[in-house]
Amino acid sequence: MPRRYVQRSSGGQFVVKLGCQSDARSGRKPLGIRHPKGTNNTMSTSSTTKRVGLGLIAATLAAGLTMGSGISSVKADPTQLDAYVGMGSDTTQDVINAMSGFNYGLDYNAINSGSATGYKHIISFNAAPAQTAGDNCITPVLNGPTFTRPNGSGAGRKALYQATSGVGLGWTGASFTLDNSTVLPTCATLVNISGAVNFARSSSVGTTTGTDEVYVPFGRDAVTYISYRPGGGAALATLTRKNLIDAYASATRVTVADPDGTGTVTIVPCGVQTSSGTMSFFKTIVTLASTGSEQAAVALCTPAEVNRLQESKGDQLKAKGDAFYAGTLGAGAYTADTQLVVIAPMSAAGYIAQANGVSDPNGYTNVTLGGISDDGTTGTGGADLGSPTTGTAPNLAPNLTFYASAGVGRDVYNVFKRSSIINTGTGFTLTNGLVALFLDTNVAANGTAGAPNNTSANNSSKLCQNSTVIEKFGFGQISNCGDYSLTKAWGSDAASA
């Protein structure tokens, strides 16, 4: 333990001093938390300055010295030690990273739950490991288990179930393939991760009726497609929703008018990893009757589950197109074919954040975000949604008409075990940090759908009040931010992944 003592200086003032055995001599690691790219790595710093600074605060309070008004409680340990841990969706990881204080080289004001609930913070683990690090294992809580990071909305919800439902051993996770084809194995099988996950990031909603899990929305997104023409030529700026339905319905290739004005182009669809909430939602857009039909459609581009694209990775789609063009993929069927276009599902918010430079740009050279010219499922009579974005980078913004579509627009969520935020006996919200951070418990009306007002006067959720950051990452502000009425049963989320 550090030795703390107070000494009178030559000027008559009291000075707090701290003696502490160094981490190097003791062999201790200050936190022992392995962090993904994009989270606030200051949590694992071992600088002497930080340790001494924290010790001085504790020692000052212990000595009965006053450090100033306005501070109702101070923790002796870093707030990250008991922060709420989230994981899951690729789509929302960066905006939640920002809420925790840091993302892609930029500092943000970290949200905290406030004095009444102990100034609780959040930390968030990315869906996929950094390509350069090759670390598929995470240790999110001090002295807790090390396990395979959950990749995607579905995997995040399954990890939440394993961590909060008292099931004990159960989490395995999935292997991960780096861009250089290196396969990172799972860290261990059937790991007991109880207490290691507090919330799941999710861009899709479970389908089983029930009350086990609560989906709390915080922003609006839209799902469309990205495309790439390896042989050059005009970008595929728009498709109809029916074009997408046909492209993902079977192995039969769809052709559309060439944007260059001559002939047609052939669309080869590619699949996104199956735990992705964007892939799950995209299946509703293309009205897939079965998983088998989608697998048949994408088999040429992504022939096996391990070869599916990581959501929001434009560089991976480009690599597929270039391989077709070079004759190293698809048995040479599209070698040097200037009329070939490859496509994949894409979050509009994810594209905006990357284009504006607040998220890591994943290779969008000549890879473009597409619009929807007809939102109907039959190919005629639907709304022309236009482009998903307005403006130009680095000031792209959502096209709110596009986002408002019932067909391609979606809310994005943080998911909780119901009993962690709601008293199961009375139905009222609990008084804890999770509720203060994520739920809107204010009686006051929270704006309207057309003009949401998520200020502190209208919305008690600390996350919802941070609407400027939500919009910075390409999400539309919503009037139901922090609502906790949407519930589902664990259903398939109870299975390990």
pLDDT score, position 268 = 98
Q: What tokens were used for 42?
A: 């200051």
CA–CA gap between residue 172 and residue 163 (Å, rounded): 12
Contacts of 340 (CB under 8 A, 6+ apart): 229, 230, 231, 265, 266, 268, 321, 324, 325, 334
Q: Is 494 helix (H, G, I), strand (E, B) or coil?
A: helix
Q: Is 151 helix (H, G, I), strand (E, B) or coil?
A: strand
Residue 148 CB burial class (10 angstroms; 0-12, 13-18, ≥19): buried
Q: DSSP letter for 305, please.
A: G
pLDDT score, position 408 = 97
CA–CA gap between residue 205 and residue 415 (Å, rounded): 9
End-to-end alpha carbon distance in the chain: 41
Residue 142, number of CB atoms within 10 A of its CB: 15
Do residues 101 and 110 lie in contact, with contact meaning Cβ atoms separated by under 8 Å? yes
Do residues 174 and 185 lie in contact, with contact meaning Cβ atoms separated by under 8 Å? no
Residue 235 CB burial class (10 angstroms; 0-12, 13-18, ≥19): middle
- Spatial CA neighbour of 117 closest among 485, 354, 460, 497: 460
Contacts of 155 (CB under 8 A, 6+ apart): 88, 127, 173, 174, 275, 497
- Please give the single-letter amino acid code of residue 371: G
Do residues 237 and 371 lie in contact, with contact meaning Cβ atoms separated by under 8 Å? yes
Do residues 270 and 344 lie in contact, with contact meaning Cβ atoms separated by under 8 Å? yes
Q: Is 225 helix (H, G, I), strand (E, B) or coil?
A: strand
pLDDT score, position 139 = 96
pLDDT score, position 414 = 98
- Only one residue has tokens 């284009």, namely 355
Q: What is the chain's alpha carbon radius of gyration, rounded to the nearest angstrom?
A: 25
Residue 37 CB burial class (10 angstroms; 0-12, 13-18, ≥19): middle
Residue 54 CB burial class (10 angstroms; 0-12, 13-18, ≥19): middle
Q: DSSP letter for 142, please.
A: T
Beta strand extents in 277-423 (DSSP E only): 340-347, 367-369, 371-374, 389-390, 397-398, 409-417
CA–CA gap between residue 241 and residue 284 (Å, rounded): 11
- DSSP for 407-444 reads TTEEEEEEEEEGGGTB-TTT-PBPSSHHHHHH----SS
Do residues 193 and 200 lie in contact, with contact meaning Cβ atoms separated by under 8 Å? no
Written as tens digits, the pLDDT of the chain (497 aa) is: 443 333 433 443 333 333 333 333 233 333 333 333 444 433 333 333 333 343 333 333 333 333 333 444 566 788 778 999 999 999 999 999 999 999 999 999 999 999 999 999 999 999 999 888 778 999 999 999 999 999 999 999 999 999 999 988 899 999 998 888 888 999 999 999 999 999 999 999 999 999 999 999 999 999 999 999 999 999 999 999 999 999 999 999 999 999 999 899 999 999 998 889 999 999 999 998 667 789 999 999 998 777 899 888 999 999 999 999 999 998 899 999 999 999 999 999 999 999 999 999 987 889 999 999 999 999 889 999 999 999 999 999 999 999 999 999 999 999 999 999 999 999 999 999 999 999 999 987 777 766 788 999 999 999 999 999 999 999 999 999 999 999 999 998 998 65
CATH for 221-408?
A: 3.40.190
Pairing mode of beta strands 238-240, 371-374 = parallel
CA–CA gap between residue 87 and residue 129 (Å, rounded): 12
Cα dihedral 144→145→148→152 (10° resolution): -50
Do residues 60 and 16 lie in contact, with contact meaning Cβ atoms separated by under 8 Å? yes
Every domain of the chain and the residues it spans: 1-76, 221-408
- Please give the single-letter amino acid code of residue 291: T
- Only one residue has tokens 């309070």, namely 61
- Only one residue has tokens 């005629």, namely 380
Q: What tokens were used for 83?
A: 């922060």
Residue 297 CB burial class (10 angstroms; 0-12, 13-18, ≥19): buried
pLDDT score, position 69 = 36
